A and B are shown apart, each in its own frame.
Chain A
């Protein structure tokens, strides 16, 4: 289970560029729950995922995962519990190393890296079996550098690498956004299958309302560094794309209203 408790993060605090990217965010995710995160640009979705992944330590609050208080753990240590796929298809793999070598690195996540050979015959057979499930024909190209593959293929492999050791949590940050529509659909499909098959706990940021409705078990909407909506269980079952759009509008109107009220008050009292 993932438990985020009153986490706040302000970038460039005390300067004109101050951004309150996360404001007192709390969120609990049960084991085996696949949660989608939607929200406008700059609403703090990536920042929330990065806080969990350990890219930075939050200014306040705590983060617990699978019974560990990971708030102060460095990023590489959290990787023992967390698998990640980034938006950039180039971010998750080492381009000049082979498919098999990249997977060998992922296989040892959270374990001691010994002086034994990384890519053995037996390991390659295992890799071929699992890569075959992607249905991309990559099982015949295990010795090719990953840099020679398409973005969609790389992203599918990164996903496979992220779940290789069955992490306690899978973080996906718009991992289909940089792909062409066909590859995006394929990777989204794989995501759904793999998460269901491995019964993974996952957090997925997406810009696609349709994806948010189709894939996850729960949807969270963020705005200005806070969680403003949370669709769970039955409400999630019923929600459709137009409902999400309507909620977006409502959130934005409320903000406009707040701003105009603030403006009025300012005009009156200052």
Chain B
């Protein structure tokens, strides 16, 4: 359960201020599938980062499963990220020197899972994105779609209750993009994972039952079909 109340985010750039988010109000119940749309620079990533506990709001409050996370310190936030959230970045963000398997097992490493368990669970996660045969490849040896699937496996490996994807298909062709969204949908439908998806693609957004539109840091529409 995500409860965002009156959240603003202000970046100070010398004398000027950039209001990336203004007074945002957003509740997302567990198991929902929400698409966030809006023009470039409207504040979508900023909002996602706050939801994903990577960033904290300048003002307002954010509760995650009833826990006030908006004023937590960084180590506490790290633990929340590790336990509850799976983040899929537009630019994959895989560690180049590590194999797909090692990349996937990183969250487990920081969760203190034993070596054997890590291996088992990471292989299982790779299996879900159908990449078992690429487990020992480095990111440079994988295609864009495969890299994003590794990143998704990594986001899933800790069995998070929330999956956040910030333009996960932005760097992929349409066909691969569809496949990945289909995978997300399955996870949402079959396993009840809360799914929040940022996208530019109107058609993709239409696949989500609920669509939130942000313009200039403000939520201008919140439609459920």
Whether chains A and B associate is no
Query: B residues within 8 Å of A by Cβ?
Result: none
Query: A residues within 8 Å of B by Cβ?
Result: none
